[in-house]
Amino acid sequence: MKHPTKPYNDLQASFNTIRVGYRYRLVNYGETSVFEVLEIISNDDCRVRSVDTLEEYRLSDLIKYGKGDDFAFSEE
C-alpha cells in the first residue's frame, strides 16, 4: 500500500475520529468554523468551543441543514 503524499493534517478527517481536546476546521455552505472539542455526547454529536469567539455549541448545529458542495472537515 502506498503512503499518501499529503501530511496527515491535510487529509480529510472523519466525524468518527473526533477526539476531545483537539482542534478541527469545518467548511460548509461557504462558512468556516474552527473549534476545539470539549465533550463527546454521542456517536453523532459533541460539544465544541469556537476558537474565534469562545462560544460553545454542538457539532450538529453546524451541519443541521445538510452538507454543502464545499463541505470539508479536517484536523487543525
Per-residue pLDDT of 53-73, as tens digits, reads 999 999 999 899 998 999 999
- CA–CA separation, 70 and 76 (whole Å): 18
Question: What is the DSSP-derived secondary structure letter of residue 13?
Answer: P
19-66: pLDDT as tens digits = 999 999 999 999 999 999 999 998 779 999 999 999 999 999 989 999
- CA–CA separation, 23 and 2 (whole Å): 28
Please give the tally of structural domains in the chain.
1
Residues 7-14, mean pLDDT to the nearest whole number: 51
Does residue 35 lie within any of the structural domains? Answer: yes
Does residue 58 lie within any of the structural domains? Answer: no
Does residue 74 lie within any of the structural domains? Answer: yes
Distances (CA, A) of 30 to 26, 62, 68: 10, 12, 8
Does residue 71 lie within any of the structural domains? Answer: yes
Q: Given the C-alpha cell 468518527, which residue does it identify?
A: 16
Does residue 60 lie within any of the structural domains? Answer: no
Does residue 61 lie within any of the structural domains? Answer: no
Does residue 47 lie within any of the structural domains? Answer: no
Q: Cite the DSSP H helix spans in 1-72.
A: 59-62
Does residue 21 lie within any of the structural domains? Answer: yes
End-to-end CA distance of the chain: 26
Q: In the prediction, which pLDDT does 12 show?
A: 54
